[in-house]
Structure 1
Amino acid sequence: MPFRTHHRARTRRPALLAALALTATGLCAVPGSAQASAADHTLSTHARLFVPPPTSAAVSQIIQLAKTGDVADAALLTKMEATPQAVWFTSGTPDQVRQQVRQTMAEATLESAVPVLVAYDIPGRDCAQYSAGGALDPASYEAWISAFAAGVGNGHAVVILEPDALGNLPSNCGGFGSSSYPFTDADRYAEIDYAVSALEAKPNTSVYLDGTHSGWQSVGTMTQRLLLGDVQQAQGFYLNVSNYQPDNELTDYGQWISDCIAIVTDPSHWAYNNPGDCASQYYPATQGDFSTWDLTTQWYAANMDGAVSSTHFVIDTSRNGNGPNAMSEYAAAPYNQSASVISSLSSGSWCNPPNSALGLRPTTQTGVPLLDAYLWVKTPGQSDGQCDAAGGARAWDYSAYTQAGWPTDAAGQSQFDPLWGLTDPAAGAWFPQQALQLAQEANPPLLRH
């Protein structure tokens, strides 16, 4: 799972220091009102979303493009960086994360905006793969997330809680049960439950849990996991973080999860306590054929039996403008990759896939009752990791296609990304080639002509 760190190019101002002081005392101004006076966990449809200061790497790329006369691309990246997007918090001591969150809240207050904050420090995160790390144990995590919540204070904020934490439970990870990966599903649910309680104790947070996406876990599976993660005490769940699924599929998938939650928590319903009975994108629909998805929608229409859907969700549209990359182009000339290679590439298409595009711009006005917002949660331009054969995200037959300068030895090829023709930056690092492509391919376009 790729992540955005909190380290960003910042402009120091006396007003910022003043806002920090206000936040520290819990009197920070709230967008749309003079002061937070009552609990309100609903994300307003009129909320103005926070634009964080750009990263120094993004600024450097924009300046370099302008210096070389590429004003058009410099303008595209400038527009991308001026678009609301999330701020990720991925490490640090409790004192450090409290101060970092507090600072972001103060900066958002200066914009009269609502920040989107990503808490990403759960033990055993990302199955100890590209974005390995996180707190060492449940006690450490509880201290960290409590400090995170203290940093939010009384201000309005959207909290995206622990991407992939429910999609990839510890039992879904290689090495589960070993001394090198001593994490358990029971601990994971307890950690999520604790985080929901800590964050929902704040009066103006909108907390969303991991709902994966429409090409991954079934509706029933995610309903069960979300309920165990205490979603009914949160605002709802999020979809498609750092992924590429199309908005129409995600909207249906989110609605179905909300429907399933309503059904299985209604004691009078025949499917009470049985999420496995819920229809999904896999049946009666066929996941790969969107023309069949109405079959599942019809199933819910016929089987709600008075249950009322009320669980909200948000969608990450930061990279789904072109949808997922099936990697089929690499089967044709000049690449001539085999079917087995294409299959492997497709399985790893979550990791820095080429030909991706920014999607819908962030907004809280979606026109869909339970869909609270389209958000840019994944930071556009930041790498998913060193996507290569060694990490399992890439496969390639170099005898069928190679280029001058590409590695010729097995060791070099194992850490190389042939789709980009380079070694990818580490997870969370700026990926200039990918950043520019996302902006150039944006759908809808970033700049009107």
Structure 2
Amino acid sequence: MPFGHHRFVRRIRTAVAAVVPAAALAVAGPVLGTTPADAAVTCRVTYTSTQWGTGSGGFTAAVDVKNSGDPLPDWTLTFTFPSSQRVSQGWSARWSQSGARVTARSESWNRPVASGGSVQIGFNGTWTGSNPPPTDFAVNGVPCQVAGASPSPSPSPSPSPSPSASPSASPDVPVDNPFAGVTGYVDPGWAADVESSAVRVDDAAAEKMRGLKTTSTAVWLNRIADVTGGSGVARTLKDHLDTAVEQGAGYITLVLHNLPDRDCRSRVSDAELHEQDNGLHRYKTEYVDAIAALLAEPEYRNLRVAAVIEPRALLDLVVGGALDTFPCEQAAASGVYVMGIRYALDTLAPLPNVYTYLDAGSAGWAGWESNFTALAALVTETARATSGGLAGLDGIATNVGDYVPLVEPFLTDPHQTVMGQQLLLSRFIDWNPHLHERDYAVAMRAALIAKGFPSSLGVVVDTSRNGWGGSARPTAVSTSGDLNTYVDESRVDRRPSRAAECNQKGAGLGARPVAAPVPDVDAYLWIKRPGESDGAGGPLLPEGSDRLADYRCDPDGSLTPWSGGFRPTGALPNAPLIGDWHHEQFVMLVDNAYPAL
């Protein structure tokens, strides 16, 4: 199969079994100014959801509406909840609910819908008792075919849902969106870590934690032994893949994170490989080739693999160069990052069940115009020189391991003025016009498409730690006339600086993993595993450690800001080494989850 095959079939949506559209039915009367003569409605709906809680809780649902009839000048989607579910917040439509009946009316920007076109809408909700999917979807009063309805398995203390609890993996690969219509792999190791915290808290908190144990998280391949086995490795890549097949998971997210001299902006990089020690050759032959060989095994052919390629690597070249960071300047001069990434894309892209997502930074670091432009150019330059070219990349990943909230509900326009001063001039926003991650992700995608990437380019956003809920979350816009006070009282992101990135105080779990939450976004995912430390933070390192503390993780330290002023790190104290379980952080993330657990 040639390179770029994924891009040619995206938006075809072969993730669900083909269905024959229902015959068009007459609309009972006028709907939002239209008549039955205006459009013959024929539609298909794909509904997916991810839930949390035991006995009751919340869920996030994505609804894909396919118009297979005449063009629709306007649309209204209706359905009925079969249980006690309630819509609490929705997007990409005007949502309302009366009793069990739910109505979603089009926005001005997602109508009309062409023949063969689709709209993607979604909502957060609550449930009690059970959370079965709706089945009576209708557009403008006309019933739709329902394809791929697949609520996530009910939470239970078991770290692995039974295969019968999730839909079977689709043999139709490649597909448009690898996350649509199927459930993700649940890592038993992460579930065990969650349980280790649950036994240390009160019953109410423990119930919330255990309700998360069936949530899909990514598998990080940080060293060669994570792939092939070795000292200290509890589960190899093969172990994860085998368990995913046993679970009946439809997809697994893998993070390739082992470039030579990786994390060049860190003063205490724990890179396994080094360019001067033949690191690039080892990266290719012992790491990437070994991953590709496993993923090509026939027993995994129906398992969709989302491969997130080298988080922050290209961003580090851009930011590290701007800050005159010598290791990053070395990495840029040698080309080791770019060559390694190109090899990974060249090797993985031809596999029909693999979907490649190249890391493209976050609003917190790459939102500034100069960084944004430079990173978009570097992503394009890196992908263009691969065998598949720009069409060979399935998508980009943003906010990986970062804390930028999906939206800032009370800060929507960076050019808004307070007493004559634009929000851009405030201490926190600091001239960065991308106020939240969803805006940044969609803007970066558009910039890349403008540079020649196909319009089918997808996006995944890491929402594992960007919830910023809890009692400190603002509920209304500030009324202050002071610019900095106005921004600080209005923002949900409570970091001391947009550059703060290590074990952040006040953070919470973000949106639960869900496919197609908003247009142009393939999924929200938990890529960084919630509860894992970003790095050791003072005042003391763990006993017996010979490692240095990362200044970004020092709770008493400060960051170098883009503009003048003292910026504390915002890091939690007494954090363990990077990758180790951080119980106190996990408790905080659960307490501050948004949507709340």
The aligned amino acid for 2:198 is I
Task: Determine if contact 1:54/1:81 at 8 Å carries over to the other structure.
Answer: no
CA separation in 2, counterparts of 1:251 and 1:367? 9
Q: Report the counterpart of residue 282 of structure 2 in structure 1.
A: 140
CA separation in 2, counterparts of 1:188 and 1:50? 29
Q: Which is worse superposed, 181-190 or 226-235? A: 181-190
Task: Determine if contact 2:405/2:467 at 8 Å carries over to the other structure.
Answer: yes
Matched, 1:251 2:404: no
Q: Aligned-pair distance for 1:215?
A: 2.1
The aligned amino acid for 2:315 is G
Structure 2: state its 5+ residue gaps. Answer: 1-157, 384-389, 408-435, 474-494, 540-548, 558-568
In structure 2, the CA distance between the partners of 1:39 and 1:185, relative to structure 1 (3 Å rule), is: farther
Matched, 1:78 2:210: yes
Structure 1: state its 5+ residue gaps. Answer: 1-9, 17-29, 267-307, 327-343, 398-416
Q: Aligned-pair distance for 1:445?
A: 1.6
CA separation in 2, counterparts of 1:184 and 1:77? 46
Q: Aligned-pair distance for 1:133?
A: 1.2
Matched, 1:210 2:348: no
Q: Which has the higher contact order (CA 8 A, sep 6+)?
A: 1
Among candidates 324, 329, 341, match of residue 192 of structure 1: 341
Q: Aligned-pair distance for 1:129?
A: 3.9
Task: Determine if contact 1:258/1:310 at 8 Å carries over to the other structure.
Answer: no
Matched, 1:157 2:305: yes
Task: Determine if contact 1:131/1:385 at 8 Å carries over to the other structure.
Answer: no
The aligned amino acid for 2:392 is Q
Per the normalisation by structure 2, the TM-score is 0.51
Q: Aligned-pair distance for 1:441?
A: 1.2
CA separation in 1, counterparts of 2:448 and 2:283? 28
Q: Aligned-pair distance for 1:46?
A: 1.2
CA separation in 1, counterparts of 2:159 and 2:463? 28
In structure 2, the CA distance between the partners of 1:253 and 1:81, relative to structure 1 (3 Å rule), is: same
Q: Aligned-pair distance for 1:71?
A: 0.7
Per the normalisation by structure 1, the TM-score is 0.67
For residue 47 of structure 1, give the secondary structure of its aligned residue in structure 2. Answer: coil
Larger fraction in strand: 2
Task: Determine if contact 2:179/2:523 at 8 Å carries over to the other structure.
Answer: no
Task: Determine if contact 1:383/1:428 at 8 Å carries over to the other structure.
Answer: yes
Matched, 1:425 2:561: no
Among candidates 582, 590, 596, match of residue 439 of structure 1: 590
| Count of aligned pairs between the two proteins | 336
Q: Which has the larger radius of gyration?
A: 2
Task: Determine if contact 2:317/2:331 at 8 Å carries over to the other structure.
Answer: no
Q: Aligned-pair distance for 1:183?
A: 6.8
Task: Determine if contact 1:360/1:443 at 8 Å carries over to the other structure.
Answer: yes
Task: Determine if contact 1:364/1:372 at 8 Å carries over to the other structure.
Answer: yes
Q: Report the counterpart of residue 319 of structure 1 in structure 2.
A: 465
Q: Report the counterpart of residue 70 of structure 2 in structure 1.
A: none
Matched, 1:91 2:255: no
Q: Over aligned residues, Cα RMSD in angstroms?
A: 3.5
In structure 2, the CA distance between the partners of 1:391 and 1:348, relative to structure 1 (3 Å rule), is: farther
- 1:43-80 residue CA offsets vs partner (Å, 9 max, x unmatched): 24212111111444433222233xxxx11111122123
Task: Determine if contact 1:41/1:205 at 8 Å carries over to the other structure.
Answer: no
CA separation in 2, counterparts of 1:161 and 1:392? 26
Q: Report the counterpart of residue 534 of structure 2 in structure 1.
A: 384
Larger fraction in helix: 1
Among candidates 260, 266, 290, match of residue 123 of structure 1: 260
For residue 536 of structure 2, give the secondary structure of its aligned residue in structure 1. Answer: coil
Matched, 1:43 2:178: yes
Matched, 1:111 2:247: yes
Q: Report the counterpart of residue 374 of structure 1 in structure 2.
A: 524
Q: Aligned-pair distance for 1:40?
A: 4.2
The aligned amino acid for 1:81 is K
For residue 514 of structure 2, give the secondary structure of its aligned residue in structure 1. Answer: coil
- 1:292-320 residue CA offsets vs partner (Å, 9 max, x unmatched): xxxxxxxxxxxxxxxx7332110000000
Matched, 1:52 2:187: yes
Task: Determine if contact 2:159/2:186 at 8 Å carries over to the other structure.
Answer: no
In structure 2, the CA distance between the partners of 1:251 and 1:182, relative to structure 1 (3 Å rule), is: closer
For residue 208 of structure 2, give the secondary structure of its aligned residue in structure 1. Answer: helix
